[in-house]
Amino acid sequence: MVIAIYEVFTKERLDNMRFEVQGKDFSQELTNIQLKLVRTYNGDIRRTLAGKVSAFPVSFITVGFDLVFLGVRNNMNLLQQIMLSSDVVEIVTSYNGTTVKGNFSCTTNDCQEVKDKGERHLQQTISIVSDGSNITKENGSPFTVAIDDDVVLPSVYFGKVYGLNQVAYKSGAKLPSNKILVLGDEVLTSS
């Protein structure tokens, strides 16, 4: 079973976004990006005869992106070549004002000709998913979680869920089961 959360980035946010694959910058060609956070369960969710959930199987969060690029043929061919040359490539991109770096695998790649006078442009749609290794800040360091300016989790990673030893709130919402899905350096409050 899979439960997904999607975030679509607006044009204004794309203008300030950075996107690199294996050290090559494709930010200018990026026209659309959608973050996907997917919870995958290993096994079935068990229910009683009355329909109440009796047990959840082990689950994990997978981080992925759907990407659309538009650019000159040479750049798009290079992007396709890089993405398909290996099972895993290193990607650096921006999310919510934070630059993140991780290893991702290309799951789908579709390239279409764009009708222009010289037929020089291609549009490429790519879906990528994390290989499960840690997604860090660009310099390789982990993220932090602070409650009321005190760092309580000094070494956490993007797209992973961590438990806290106390009740905490994010933007006024109480965290469920005192757990936080890390999407960058997190600052929480105790009330």
Q: Which CATH architecture has domain 2-137?
A: Beta Barrel (2.40)
Task: Determine contact, residues 94/84, Cβ cutoff 8 Å.
Answer: no
Residue 188, number of CB atoms within 10 A of its CB? 18
- DSSP label of 56: P
Q: Distance (Å, rounded) from C-alpha 158 to C-alpha 141? A: 11
Task: Determine contact, residues 153/142, Cβ cutoff 8 Å.
Answer: no
Encode burial over 5-40: b for 16+ CB neighbours within 10 A, e otherwise.
Answer: eeeebeeeeeeeeebbbeeeebeebbeebebbbbee
Least confident of 16-20, 69-73, 103-107, 151-155: 16-20
pLDDT digits 0-9 by tens, 151-166: 999 999 999 999 999 9
Listed by start position, the domains of the chain span 2-137, 143-188
pLDDT digits 0-9 by tens, 112-151: 888 776 668 899 999 999 998 999 999 999 999 999 989 9
13 phi/psi in degrees, rounded to 5:
-70, -35
Strand partners, 181: 161
Q: Distance (Å, rounded) from C-alpha 146 to C-alpha 184? A: 11
Strand partners, 184: none
Q: Are strands 121-130 and 143-147 parallel, antiparallel or unpaired?
A: unpaired
Task: Determine contact, residues 118/132, Cβ cutoff 8 Å.
Answer: no
Question: pTM higher than 0.85, yes or no?
Answer: no
Between residues 58 and 80, the one the model is more confident about? 80
What is the chain's mean pLDDT, rounded? 87
